[in-house]
Amino acid sequence: MNQVVIKSEQDIEKMRVAGRLASEVLDFITPHVKAGITTGELDRLCHDFMVEVQGTVPAPLNYCPPGHSPYPKSICTSVNHQICHGVPGEKLLKNGDIVNLDITVIKEGYHGDTSRMFIVGEGSIAARRLCQLTFEAMWRGIEQVRPGATLGDIGYAIQTFAEGVGYSVVREFCGHGIGTTFHEPPHVMHFGQPGTGLTLRKGMIFTIEPMLNIGKRHIKEMPDGWTIVTKDHSLSAQWEHTVLVTDDGYEVLTVSQGTPPKPAQPSRTT
């Protein structure tokens, strides 16, 4: 595994800007996430806002990791049982749908990466609970971040919370280091054992982005080569922040005016 990049103060300042801009795309698109719009239209609106208003580059567009065809859109839109990497298209959002919008922008060569869950219209009690508790699971992981902690501490906090409220944790996809590269070391798993794995150091920047399913954790890849769904067709949710390891804790870099605040009273796991 390649070396984890420790970011300089200059790097960190640019990552703050990129992170804020990524979050501002989500602020911008929020009023448009409603019944009757297509995921393709959400993508178009976000693309134009990034390129024409922010002067950012949409990182997913034409992103092509080994073994994949180039990603054809500027954002990821994962609806209901889609776990991640949903490709925007002709799908119309309807009342009760849940959708994850995953945004990564590049500004002056630095990446900002964040995602939020949206509930279209009312949403069922089960759907609302899944979205809220996945948000809390992400924060359980973030709260572990400080120098001297380990990646296993993050994964354990997320896994025990998620499984404690009856959900399963997707294991094939994880958080990742980020900077001038979209995906760099380390891999940040959302399950694990405390005290194991890489020890965190000041200046590391990575994403924490748990994917939780109401049903079983098993996944399936769709024929488009990108969209990942739950094998049992159960609902899935994901939230993502980009996080910096500071002197004595963490700083969330993907913050803007519309960012949902950290939960005041985390839910009990029992």
Q: Each residue of 73-101: pLDDT tens digit? A: 999 999 999 999 999 999 999 999 999 99
Given this model, what pLDDT does residue 266 score? 53
215 lies in some domain: yes
pLDDT at 68: 87
- pLDDT for 48: 98
Written as six digits, the tokens of 177 are 């280091």
Report yes or no on 113 lying in a domain: yes
Which pairs from 259-265 meet CB under 8 Å and 24+ separation?
259/23, 259/26, 259/27, 260/116, 260/135, 262/139, 263/135, 263/136, 263/139
Domain count, the chain: 1
Query: What are the Cα distances from residue 206, in Å, to 114, 124, 186, 188, 194?
Result: 11, 32, 8, 8, 18
Residue 85 lies in a domain: yes
178 in Cβ contact with 205 (< 8 Å): yes
pLDDT at position 265: 63
Q: Per-residue DSSP letters for the chain? A: -PPPPPPPHHHHHHHHHHHHHHHHHHHHHGGG-STT-BHHHHHHHHHHIIIIII--EETTTT---TTSPPP-SSSEEEETTEEE-PPPSSPBP-TT-EEEEEEEEEETTEEEEEEEEEE-SS--HHHHHHHHHHHHHHHHHHTT-STT-BHHHHHHHHHHHHHHTT-EE--S--EEE-SSSSSEEEEE-SS--TT-SPBP-TT-EEEE--EEESS-S-EEE-TTSS-EEETT---EEE-BEEEEE-SSSEEE----TTPPPPPSSPPP--
Residue 4: what pLDDT?
95
User: Residue 155 is part of which domain span?
Assistant: 9-252
pLDDT tens for 101-147 read 999 999 999 999 999 999 999 999 999 999 999 999 999 999 999 99
Please count the CA atoms within 13 angstroms of the CA of 259 that sit on its side-chain side: 21
Q: Is residue 261 part of a domain?
A: no
Instruction: Give the pLDDT score at 264.
Output: 81
Regions of the chain short of the pLDDT cut 50: 1, 267-270
The CATH number that applies at residue 17 is 3.90.230.10
